[in-house]
Chains A and B, each alone.
Chain A
């Protein structure tokens, strides 16, 4: 598994160099390989799917335009993520998914029906975690996403988000800590609820 990951990394670099030299099929392949990850990352900033697709098209056309100046780039994914982020943020006028707690989540009831608890224990913890993550500051949420889902290193996250490495480390540590506290509360709460139900 690790080997194939590594070979795919060198593969991407080879294709990137070919793209920089004007190889359109390499360009197409790189676009295809990175499109989904970039799209999903885009959904972290805005619910407007058309805007994301627009930005992605602009992004790829832009890198095709300046391909000859891009051969120095060794870390392709962080570069693309960073570019998309800048483009999107520049164009976003609306509230982002990362920003505030949504209204419909705030009003959630803390004391649900007892039979509902028994059936939906797992969903409840997930649901509460969702609330916890929604309550995190948007940059913490974004750093967590890049670290765990996209597997970027601290340095790469710092590049993408335009932060110092230390700031990234702090965000991640604080974010995980918050989530875990939430988890613990949710679990204790659940245990209490089921006690009450059983007695």
Chain B
């Protein structure tokens, strides 16, 4: 802890945590208390604050959606690795005509409205009340994969026989779920509310990422591999879940895999070529679409998430999608797609119904 009572203006200026408070409002309560407890520093703090703000000057509002759009433009402008050699019969005018048509499609798609978003309702299939009140448990007793949408919008793809339990509403400061079996996670980014997965005696803490866990009851090892983002793994303390933060921690990055032994609590890490642990399509999918017909996009989503997407093939016959979707949960992907092609969607059970006005 710094001794703030002897701080000069220069010290405040150079204090990085103070800078973050001034610029990004981080740890607001902490800093308000510090200032309250050091009334003699008020003038210095005011001066430092004003100076920092003047140094920053005014910044444009730049929403995440705009950044995503620009990034997509950049990715689309990246030339494809493999240049296809065109067969002799595809003459130049055909290519030109096709390109014009595609360009037209994109322009139309972009100019159509971006509203009409509908949030996806939580799936209720296979839902049953757990032991504790408000605790949901889903057990995938089907022979296929099953998608679970958590209350925060995160997606979990359960393999057969896997089960997950979670509260009907997450606590304000943390999201906690318990897993048995094999599953792939796509977690909504929210640094304020870290996401915990308890599997075997392994605790996984993430802020917003995608990863796979294999925690079968009959196996001694629990395995995890990261697709995107950062994942923190530690052993569950005997005292209970809340003390999970103590003890040895491992930070894993994309393509890193950990094998966690339930008994010895040993953790072994290795780097893998591809973050595939469960042989799920979602693990290797990168969802990069370039003028892809919408029907194809939907087919991909159906396969990845084990859901059914109903749509009128005639209505979307002319719709194409150019976008890079990453580790967003399924409903965020649907939001994005529907915004681009001017459609709405509704969810009932594991069936999504798309209503589109077409892209002509």
Residues of A participating in the B interface, judged by any CB pair closer than 8 Å: 1, 7-8, 10-11, 14-15, 18, 24-29, 31-32, 35-36, 39-40, 43-44, 49, 53, 56-57, 60-61, 64, 97, 125-126, 129-130, 132-133, 141, 144-145, 148-149, 151, 176, 179-180, 183
Chain B residues in 8 Å Cβ range of A53: 70
B228 within 8 A of A: yes
Among candidates B62, B67, B230, residue contacting A11 with C-beta atoms closer than 8 Å: B230
Chain B residues in 8 Å Cβ range of A18: 254-255
Is the CB–CB distance between A36 and B62 below 8 Å?
yes
Chain A residues in 8 Å Cβ range of B17: 1
B54 within 8 A of A: yes
Determine the distance from Cα of A44 to Cα of B253 in the docked complex, in whole angstroms.
34
Closest 5 CB pairs of A and B: A129-B54, A14-B253, A144-B55, A149-B56, A133-B54
Is the CB–CB distance between A60 and B74 below 8 Å?
yes
- Nearest neighbor of B60 in chain A, beta-carbon distance: A43
Is the CB–CB distance between A129 and B324 below 8 Å?
no
Is the CB–CB distance between B78 and A64 below 8 Å?
yes
Is the CB–CB distance between B47 and A35 below 8 Å?
no
Residues of B participating in the A interface, judged by any CB pair closer than 8 Å: 9-10, 13, 16-17, 19-20, 23, 26-27, 47, 50-57, 59-60, 62, 67-68, 70-71, 73-75, 77-78, 228, 230, 251, 253-255, 286, 288, 324, 326
Is the CB–CB distance between B27 and A25 below 8 Å?
no
Known: A15-B254, A24-B75, A61-B77. Is A8-B47 also a contact (CB below 8 A)? no
Q: What are 14 sample pairs from A and B whose C-beta atoms fall under 8 A apart?
A: A10-B253, A28-B324, A32-B71, A35-B67, A35-B70, A40-B59, A57-B74, A97-B57, A125-B50, A126-B53, A149-B23, A176-B10, A179-B54, A183-B47
Is the CB–CB distance between B78 and A176 below 8 Å?
no
Determine the distance from Cα of A29 to Cα of B51 in the docked complex, in whole angstroms.
33
Known: A36-B62, A39-B62, A176-B13. Is A133-B70 also a contact (CB below 8 A)? no
Chain B residues in 8 Å Cβ range of A15: 253-254
Determine the distance from Cα of A141 to Cα of B55 in the docked complex, in whole angstroms.
7
Q: Is the interface of A mostly helix, strand, loop or mixed?
A: helix
Among candidates A7, A28, A36, A151, residue contacting B326 with C-beta atoms closer than 8 Å: A28
Chain B residues in 8 Å Cβ range of A7: 230, 251
Q: How far is the CB of A26 from chain B (nearest CB, A)?
A: 7
Chain B residues in 8 Å Cβ range of A60: 74
Q: How far is the CB of B269 from chain A (nearest CB, A)?
A: 13
Is the CB–CB distance between A61 and B228 below 8 Å?
no
Q: How far is the CB of A35 from chain B (nearest CB, A)?
A: 5
Determine the distance from Cα of A8 to Cα of B326 in the docked complex, in whole angstroms.
19
Chain A residues in 8 Å Cβ range of B67: 32, 35-36
Q: How far is the CB of A55 from chain B (nearest CB, A)?
A: 12
Is the CB–CB distance between B70 and A56 below 8 Å?
yes
Among candidates A39, A49, A130, residue contacting B54 with C-beta atoms closer than 8 Å: A130
Known: A57-B77, A144-B55. Is A49-B254 also a contact (CB below 8 A)? no
Determine the distance from Cα of A120 to Cα of B161 in the docked complex, in whole angstroms.
65
Determine the distance from Cα of A141 to Cα of B54 in the docked complex, in whole angstroms.
10
Q: How far is the CB of B48 from chain A (nearest CB, A)?
A: 10
Report which residue of B74, B77, B254, B286 has the largest number of chain A beta carbons within 10 angstroms of its beta carbon. Answer: B74
- Nearest neighbor of B73 in chain A, beta-carbon distance: A57
Apart from A27-B75, A32-B67, A180-B9: 8 A-B pairs, beta carbons within 8 A: A1-B26, A7-B251, A18-B255, A31-B74, A39-B62, A49-B60, A64-B78, A129-B54
Determine the distance from Cα of A31 to Cα of B20 in the docked complex, in whole angstroms.
23
Is the CB–CB distance between A176 and B51 below 8 Å?
yes
Among candidates A1, A64, A183, residue contacting B27 with C-beta atoms closer than 8 Å: A1
